[in-house]
Amino acid sequence: MTPNAAAGPSGAPSAGGLTAEERLLRDTAREFAQREVAPTAIERDEQERFDRSIFTRMGELGLTGTPLPESIGGGGFSYLGWALVMEELGAADMATAVTLSVHLLSQFPVLSYGRPEQIERWLPPMLAGEALGAFCLTEPAGGSDAAALRTRAERIDDGPDAGGYRLTGTKIWISNAPEADRYLVFATVDPSKGPKGITAFLVEKGVEGFRFGAHEKKMGIRSCPAAELIFDGALVPAENRLGEEGGGYRIALSSLAEGRISIGAGCVGIARSALEQAAGYLQQRKAFGAPLAELQGLRFMLAEMARDVAAARALVHEAARAKDRGEPLGEVSSLAKWTASDTAMKVATDAVQLFGGSGYSRETGIERLMRDAKGAQIYEGTNQIHRSIVADAVLKRSATPG
C-alpha cells in the first residue's frame, strides 16, 4: 500500500447494518478520496495549499450536502451515511475532511433555525458546492468557553439601515477562511447578559467592514486554511439575523454536537489509514532475516491498533445513529469525538514508531497523520472539555432516582 492510500478492505467499515444506499455512498466517497484527494495530500500539506477544485468536485458528487434533506437540494442520506463519507475523506486527507465538516457545520443551523426565505436564499449554493461555508465562534479571549465571546452586534435603530446590526470584533482560528464565501458569525448584543446575549448572523464575504487578518500557521491539517476575521462596523441587515436575539448560544452548542460526530468519523479514517499502512509496511520490511510482521511484539502493537480503531468506529456510528433517531447528542457526541481523536493520535503515533526512520520522514506521509490527529484533540472542543461533559452526564444520571 502506498503511503497516501486509505485503508483497504481489512480496515474499512463492514457492510453490516448499512443500507444499500449507505454502502453506495461509502464506496463513492472512497473512490473519490483515493482517486482525487489522496494523490496530492502530501504536496498540499507541504505547500499549505487549499485546492478549491477538490471542494468543487465534492459538490458535483453531492457530498457538500450529503445529510441534508432532498427537499432543499441535499442528498437526503442518514447521518450514519455522512459519518461513512467523513471516514473515507479522513483516511485520505484530514484537511479535506475538516473543510467539508466545517462547511456542513455552517449549514445545519440555517436549516434548523432559519426562516424559509433564509433557507431558500442561503443554502442552495452551499449545497451545490458553489459557495464554501465557515463557522465563526472562537475569539482571542474565548475558545472552549463559547459564552465568553466579545464580538459586538450593535442594533441600528434609525436611518436607512434601521433594524440591522453592525458587527465589531475579532474571530480567530476560523477554518476555511479566507477561502469561504459565507460565514455564520456569533456575536453578542449585550456582553452583560453572558450566553443570553449571543446572537447568530449570516455574513457574506466582501461586506464592507469585514476583512481578514493573520493566516494561521498550523502544525497539521495545513491544506485546510484558517484565518483571523476582523469586523469593523460591518453591516448585517435584519434579514441576516439567524433566529432570535439571544438565541445564538443554543444554536452554536447544538451545531457543535453534530460537528463532533463528523470530526470523530474523520479521526477514525486517520487511525484506519495508519493501521493499514503499518500492516503493509511490517509485511514488506525485513530485519534479522525475516519480515517485521513475524516479530510478536510488533504484531501485538498492530492488534491493539486494530482494536482501538474498531472501538472508536463503534462509538462514532452509535452517535450518528443517535442523531438519526433524533436523540440528545451531548454525551454521545463527546464520547465519539474524544475517543476517536485520542485513538487517531495513539494509532498514528504507533504507526510512526513501526515505520522507524521512514515514519519520521515527511516524504512518506505517516508523520502527517500524527500531526493531523493532534489538532483533532483540540478543535471542536478540547478533549478535556469532553471529559467534563461526559462526567456531568454520568453524575446527573446517578443523582436521578430510579
Q: What percent of the chain has pLDDT over 90?
A: 88
pLDDT at residue 307 is higher than 90: yes
Active-site residue set: 380
Residue-wise pLDDT tens digits, 202-261: 999 999 999 999 999 999 999 999 999 999 999 999 999 999 999 999 999 989 999 999
pLDDT of residue 12: 56
d(CA 91, CA 84): 11
End-to-end alpha-carbon separation of the chain, Å?
53
pLDDT of residue 402: 62
Residue-wise pLDDT tens digits, 154-181: 999 999 889 899 999 999 999 999 999 9
Beta carbons of 165 and 154 less than 8 angstroms apart: yes
Domains with residue ranges and CATH for the chain: 20-127 (1.10.540.10), 133-247 (2.40.110.10), 250-394 (1.20.140.10)
**Where is average pLDDT lowest: 141-150, 163-172, 251-260, 353-362?**
141-150
pLDDT of residue 144: 67
Query: In 91-238, which ranges are E strands?
Result: 133-136, 152-155, 165-175, 182-188, 198-204, 210-215, 226-236
Burial of 350 (0-12, 13-18, 19+ CB in 10 A): buried
pLDDT of residue 382: 93
Nearest to 175 by CA among 205, 135, 131: 135
Q: Which is more confident, 370 or 290?
A: 370
**Where is average pLDDT lowest: 17-21, 146-150, 182-186, 336-340?**
146-150
pLDDT of residue 401: 73
Residue-wise pLDDT tens digits, 251-288: 999 899 999 999 999 999 999 999 999 999 999 998 88
Residue-wise pLDDT tens digits, 105-122: 999 999 999 999 999 999
pLDDT of residue 4: 36
Q: How far is CA 322 from CA 28, 49, 63, 246, 251, in A?
A: 24, 36, 21, 28, 19
d(CA 51, CA 225): 10
d(CA 208, CA 294): 64
Beta carbons of 107 and 126 less than 8 angstroms apart: yes
Indicate yes or no: pTM above 0.85.
yes
pLDDT of residue 11: 56
Mean residue pLDDT of the chain comes to 93
